[in-house]
Amino acid sequence: MSVVSGFSRTQVGIVGAGPAGLLLGHLLHLNGIDSVIVENRDREYVIDRVRAGVLEQGTVDLMRAMGVGGGLDRRGLRHEGVHISFGGRRHRIDFAELTGGKAITVYGQNEVVRDLIDARIETTRPLYFNAQDVRVSALDSPMPVIRFRHEGVEHDVQCDFIAGCDGFHGVCRPSIPEGLLTIYERTYPFGWLGILAEAAPSSDELVYTHHDRGFALFSMRSPAITRLYLQVPPDESIERWSDEAIWEEMLTRMTTADGWKPNVGRIVQKSVTPMRSFVAAPMRHGRLFLAGDAAHIVPPTGAKGMNLAASDVLVLAHALKAFYETASEEWLECYSTVCLRRVWKAQRFSWWMTTLLHQLPGESRFDRQRQLADLDYLTNSRAAMLSLAEQYVGLPSEVLFTSVGLQPRLPDPSPG
Ligand code: RFL
Ligand code: PHB
């Protein structure tokens, strides 16, 4: 039986403690803005979920400037390039040389979320895990409300604004009245089978492989853990894949003519993910602002999802800060427009990487030769390599760090 605990009040109610919600909460904290974060899963589940691994240069710079980059600086792996493999040969694209020193950092989303939860707890601002029956209402009034049950107690949080950071399957987007959102969607006729293996990475950088049997991706999480993906049918059952079958297929697709291949080790996690492109626009209804996967999904081939979540909340934090400091709603009004410019460029890039590298069922001989010509052009033209590099490391931010009171910081030099 639950009891009513009454009402509480906050400036910004945040639904979801993934990267978007936690980063937003901390940006607001650094600007003296109060928030309550409400998450429907438990802390371990949120941290253990295996997902993204690649952080753009701008996401790394943002976390560092926010004072939450310590783990990233100690355990993140800076990569100054990436390999594109096709026809049995690897071709390196040198990000640092092409973009004036920019790079990506491989640091698991688990670690990002763990670091942000620690930072939130240190602020002593409220963060509820395991919240049940989370609902949002009065979205187009000046005081929207988040309701939920926590440890048997009903909570009613009155907010100035609500940030819907509750991912693709959350409650915020479906709470917007029907007909107000335009949905843009594309599903792909394949998915990714992903594994984590106890094996030292055999390459210092990621390898994206185009192969007649389908796409494969070599990545990593640490000097002892390799992360690998295989293109599979979209509804593939993971039970159909024994560990031996996974390794055989990985090695068949990834081994190159010079003998490079991933190291084999014990598989400690495996799952299948469907692939879709999705945008809901506008990313705002009244006083509800959607951010991250709640508003858009990209196929993971461009490694953009978590990075887009970070750029959305940087724009949102800036808009909220401007509102509280000057009562101006100008930035809140253009939040969706500003975010969607970046979102659509990331959508285009992720779609392009996906269609460049995967086997498309039913493709014609013409399509196949065009794909190979695209790969040949990409790996031999400086202009094409630069285009990939500048998008992969991340296009410039829409909002300056200084506009949310942050100063750029150098990496933390302290060892391990
Ligand atoms: P999240 O991470 O889904 O967090 C949403 C949170 O909201 C909670 N929630 C609710 N809370 C309260 N009430 C409700 N009713 C709720 N419903 C849901 C959820 O439990 C969760 O904690 O969304 P957010 O914060 O927008 O972050 C987005 C990223 O998680 C996502 O875009 C990335 O993981 C995508 N992605 C990648 N992104 C990158 O930038 N680089 C990568 O290398 C990369 N690789 C990947 C990826 C995603 C993958 N999968 C599994 C989809 C690789 C893969 C395989
Ligand atoms: C990962 O390391 O999980 C990863 C890397 C690159 C991608 C997607 C996922 O494009």
Look at residue 408 in the predicted model and tell me its pLDDT: 83
CB of residue 303 inside a 6 A radius of ligand 2: yes
CB of residue 108 inside a 6 A radius of ligand 1: no
Q: What is the 301 CA–ligand 2 centroid distance (Å)?
A: 7
Look at residue 413 in the predicted model and tell me its pLDDT: 64
- Closest of 101, 11, 65, 4 to residue 320, by C-alpha: 11
Atom number, ligand 2, closest to the C-alpha of residue 301: 10
Structure tokens at 177: 């009245």
Look at residue 51 in the predicted model and tell me its pLDDT: 87
Q: Are 64 and 411 in contact (CB under 8 A)?
A: yes
Residue 272 Rama label (left phi>0; alpha psi -120 to 50; beta):
beta
Q: Are 309 and 183 in contact (CB under 8 A)?
A: no
Rounded Cα–Cα distance for residues 83 and 67 (Å):
32
CB of residue 59 inside a 6 A radius of ligand 1: no
Atom number, ligand 2, closest to the C-alpha of residue 302: 10
Look at residue 1 in the predicted model and tell me its pLDDT: 44
Q: How many CB atoms lie within 10 A of CB 127?
A: 22
**For residue 16, which ligand has an atom nearest its CA?**
1
Residue 71 burial (CB < 10 Å; 0-12/13-18/19+)? middle
| Residue 284, phi then psi, degrees to nearest 5 | -150, 140
DSSP state of 206: -
Do the strands 153-164 and 77-79 form a parallel or antiparallel pair, or are they unpaired? unpaired
> Consecutive sets of 10 residues in the chain, 416 residues long: mean pLDDT of each?
71 98 98 98 93 94 96 97 98 98 97 98 98 98 97 96 98 97 97 98 98 97 97 96 98 98 97 96 98 98 97 98 96 98 98 97 93 98 98 94 89 62
